[in-house]
């Protein structure tokens, strides 16, 4: 075999490999798109058999439910350590819902990009677990461009928890910065030196001088710079 033939064979092999991976990536994309375009009937409730953390549970039927409108501190996973109050928030959530029959109510968004149902989780006594987590200082408000209908109610409870130093608000020390960068699109705020914060476009960027002021407006802290 001459060098030209060998070169052509190698080129063909490279093309075949590239085509193979393109097909694989296309299949994955279609699977993800299928999940995002889900259009079935969401579950109306069920028995909670597992609590993942302070804002996510799994029902006996297998559905994963993400608490609408809140974001709890992270528990330890893979190589990442738990956030301050992450384990405490999970414990509070477990005490609220584990092994209980809950009902689910929905808002504008029903499913998130990870295939989890977004819901208000209603306890047997009629209380909303989402609100109880905020009341206890175990979660931040989670806003998006499609704000939910109960936002003002959530904001009121978060402000009360902050003023009373409930849960993480009194337990987790934070090093203050002179200013903070907020993103009007994502409702996430950052320390001024945060690489992600520096990428915020001029139209979306808003500056805050006080951490409590930005939290009271429903912005949540960046998971990387932890403002």
Helices (H), 69-163: 86-97, 129-135, 151-163
Tell me what pLDDT residue 38 has: 53
**Residue 74 designated active-site:** yes
CA pair distance 27, 10, nearest whole angstrom: 26
**Does residue 164 lie within any of the structural domains?**
no
Q: Which member of 116, 191, 211, 220 is catalytic? A: 116
The confidence band for 146, taking pLDDT boundaries of 50, 70 and 90, is confident
Residue 59 sits in the same domain as residue 130 = yes
For 77, which DSSP code? B
What is the pTM for the complete model shown? 0.81
**Does residue 136 lie within any of the structural domains?**
yes
**Residue 160 designated active-site:** no
Residue 74 sits in the same domain as residue 23 = no
**Does residue 86 lie within any of the structural domains?**
yes
Is residue 33's pLDDT more than 50? no
Domain hosting 59: range is 45-148
**Residue 64 designated active-site:** no
Residue 17 sits in the same domain as residue 107 = no
CA pair distance 98, 77, nearest whole angstrom: 20
Residue 32 sits in the same domain as residue 109 = no
224 contacts: CB under 8 Å, gap ≥ 6: 194, 195, 196
Q: Which member of 74, 135, 211, 220 is catalytic? A: 74
Mean pLDDT in the chain? 86
Residue 64 sits in the same domain as residue 141 = yes
């Amino acid at each position: 075999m001459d060098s030209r033939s060998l070169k052509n064979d190698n080129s063909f092999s490279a093309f075949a490999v590239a085509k193979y991976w393109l097909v694989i990536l296309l299949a994955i994309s279609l699977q993800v798109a299928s999940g995002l375009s889900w259009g079935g009937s969401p579950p109306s409730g069920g028995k909670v058999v597992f609590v993942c953390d302070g804002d996510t549970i799994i029902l006996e039927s297998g559905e994963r439910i993400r608490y609408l409108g809140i974001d709890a501190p992270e528990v330890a996973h893979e190589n990442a350590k738990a956030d301050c109050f992450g384990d405490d928030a999970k414990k509070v959530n477990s005490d609220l819902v584990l092994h209980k029959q809950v009902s689910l109510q929905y808002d504008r968004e029903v499913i998130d990009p990870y295939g989890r149902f977004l819901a208000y989780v209603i306890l047997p006594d009629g209380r909303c677990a989402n609100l109880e987590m905020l009341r206890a200082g175990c979660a931040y408000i989670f806003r998006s461009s499609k704000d939910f209908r109960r936002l003002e109610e959530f904001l009121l409870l978060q402000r009360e928890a902050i003023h009373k130093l409930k849960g993480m608000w009194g337990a987790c020390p934070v090093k203050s910065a002179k200013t903070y960068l907020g993103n009007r699109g994502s409702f996430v705020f950052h320390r001024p030196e945060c690489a992600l914060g520096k990428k915020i476009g001029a139209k979306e960027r808003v500056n805050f001088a006080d951490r409590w002021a930005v939290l009271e407006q429903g912005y949540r802290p960046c998971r990387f710079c932890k403002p």
